[in-house]
Each structure stands twice: as C-alpha cells, then as structure tokens.
Amino acid sequence: MGISASQFVNQHKDKIDEMKRLLLDYIRGLRQASARNEAERTSHSPADFIKINDNGYPVLPDNLYFDNLRKTDLEELLRTYLGWHYSKHCVNCEDLKTKTI
C-alpha cells in the first residue's frame, strides 16, 4: 500500500517466541494430564465394583455412579455381572470370596 514498515514478527520477536514457548508448555501439560487420567481410568476394571454375596451371586454396590463410567466400561460391567450371576462361577472366584458383603 505504499507504507513501509517492518513486519509484526520482526517487531515483536521476543514476545512471539515467549508466546510459542508458553503454548507448547500448555500443550505438554494437557497431554500429560490426559495420559494420567487415562492411566487412572484403565487401572480400575469395572469388575472391581462387583462383590459376591454369601450365596455366591454378584452384587453391585449402591453407591456406584454410572455417569462416571464410559460405555465400554458399562458394557464390561454388565457382561461380567450377568456372566457371574448366571454361572455362579468366575475366573477370580478365590479373590472375590474376600469381597463378600
């Protein structure tokens, strides 16, 4: 347009570099938080919520919040619950005997 001026990048190089660094730090933090959340989420199996009563049947706890579970977790929980309920047999029965209510 006929107006001579230096480019914005050249005028504010230090500020732009600082902004890039802060943005990269923010993205790294988000990725680390996401990885920690995923590790926490996968460290608990939905089958951990199921307890076995004195008769050998599975029982879900009253304070189980289904809103906090993902669809795949709910599917596994239902599959495990129904499998234990109808067969009264499970792979980890010895471990579950300590969870009786």
The structure tokens listed for 61 are 């706890």
Instruction: Determine if residue 2 is left, alpha or beta; phi over 0 gives left, psi from -120 to 50 gives alpha, anything else beta.
Output: left
Classify 15 as helix, strand or coil: helix
- Per-position DSSP letters for 32-67, written without gaps between them: HHHHHHHHHHHHS-GGGG-EE-TTS-EE--TT--GG
pTM score over 0.75? no
pLDDT digits (tens, 9 = 90+) for 43-61: 566 667 788 888 778 888 7
Q: Where are the domains of the chain?
A: 7-43, 45-101
Confidence band of 14 (pLDDT split at 50, 70, 90): very high
